[in-house]
């Protein structure tokens, strides 16, 4: 069993949704016909903005509808996060748009207090693991990567962990090291999709989007600081064979999050 994934690393237009729709509409056209899932960066319509009052949308707003329309048009799953307002709260919400028009979502649990994200957004408290084409995929956002208990692959509940981000260049070594670590410790593939360029606050991003296999080996080819659309197939059978040969998960500790 294999699943093909397309990752898109791009420079985002600051708080300019229409320009970002156009950017990613063109990028999506470069996805392989074999690809089942297309992955965009965190807050792909705005950049990492705290301007919630002006940038937030509801779930029936234009950005979610854009994702739904694109997923239906290309007959692929589409992933990205948006600024969403719901019940008078703001969320950094990852959306998974299905080709059939269905949507699932995950609200970022670990808000980046260093940049005051916690003062503008409410945290989520529910994980999201979906079965897509027979493959179990867990979804996370950026800062979640630093918290291994939240990402723990208890009882091998997922095959792929997916992280979308706006992760600054000055901490790029943390990004790459933690992606690799999450792959090794959880015996899973890890997909990390980050942006490039400079945002409206003058923060630089080098991208460094990457895919690691369950051995911690980087198997993607996306380069730093470059626009890239990468198509890659992940072999789930080889993952399961490795887990059988080296069943480290059987010795894992149990954790409870309170």
| Residue 114: pLDDT over 80 | yes
Summarize pLDDT for 22-37 with one digit per residue, the tens: 999 999 999 888 899 9
| The listed CATH number (3.90.1010.10, 3.60.110.10, 3.40.630.10, 3.20.20.10) that belongs to domain 2-251 | 3.60.110.10
Burial of 93 (C-beta count, 10 Å sphere; 0-12/13-18/19+): buried
Q: Which candidate in 42, 57, 117, 230 is catalytic?
A: 42
Among candidate residues 17, 70, 142, 169, the one labeled active-site is 142
Q: Count CA atoms within 13 Å of residue 7 on its CB side.
A: 30
pLDDT in tens, 127-166: 999 999 999 999 999 999 999 999 999 889 999 999 999 9
Catalytic residue among 17, 68, 76, 108: 108
Return the pLDDT at 139.
Answer: 99
- For the residues 221-234, what does the mean pLDDT come to? 96
Query: Which of 6-10, 142-146, 195-199, 246-250 shows the lowest per-residue confidence on average (mean pLDDT)?
Result: 246-250
2: annotated active-site residue: no
Nearest one of 180, 211, 181, 205 to 193, comparing CA atoms: 211
The answer to whether the CB of 214 falls within 8 A of the CB of 248 is: no
Give the model's pLDDT for residue 16. Answer: 98
Give yes or no for residue 10 having a pLDDT over 90: yes
User: CA-CA distance, 69 to 240, in Å (whole number)?
Assistant: 34
Domain boundaries defined on the chain: 2-251
The pLDDT score that the predictor gives to residue 253 is: 82
Quote the CA–CA distance of 166 and 42 in Å, as a whole number: 6
Give the integer Cα–Cα distance in Å for 208 and 197.
12
pTM listed for this prediction: 0.96
Establish whether 108 is a catalytic residue.
yes
Answer yes or no: 201 catalytic: no
């Amino acid at each position: 069993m294999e699943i093909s994934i397309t990752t898109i690393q791009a420079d985002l237009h600051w708080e300019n949704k229409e320009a970002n729709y156009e950017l990613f509409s063109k990028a999506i056209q470069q996805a392989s016909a074999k690809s089942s899932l297309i992955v965009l960066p965190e807050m792909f319509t705005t950049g990492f903005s705290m301007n919630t009052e002006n940038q937030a949308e509801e779930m029936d707003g234009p950005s979610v509808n854009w994702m739904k329309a694109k997923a239906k048009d290309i007959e692929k799953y589409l992933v990205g996060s948006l600024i969403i307002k719901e019940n008078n709260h703001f969320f950094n919400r990852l959306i998974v748009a299905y080709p059939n028009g269905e949507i699932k979502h995950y609200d970022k649990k670990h808000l980046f207090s260093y940049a005051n994200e916690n003062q503008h957004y409410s945290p989520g408290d529910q994980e999201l693991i979906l079965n897509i084409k027979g493959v179990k995929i867990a979804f996370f956002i950026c800062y979640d990567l630093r918290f291994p208990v939240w990402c723990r692959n208890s009882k091998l509940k997922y095959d792929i962990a997916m992280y979308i981000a706006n992760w600054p260049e000055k901490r790029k070594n943390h990004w790459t090291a933690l992606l690799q670590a999450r792959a090794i410790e959880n015996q899973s593939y890890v997909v990390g999709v980050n942006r490039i360029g400079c945002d409206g606050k003058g923060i630089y991003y080098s991208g460094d989007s990457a895919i690691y296999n369950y051995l911690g080996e980087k198997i993607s080819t996306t380069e730093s600081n470059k626009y890239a659309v990468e198509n890659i197939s992940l072999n789930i059978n080889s993952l399961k064979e490795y887990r059988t040969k080296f069943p480290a998960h059987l010795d894992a500790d149990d954790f409870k999050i309170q």
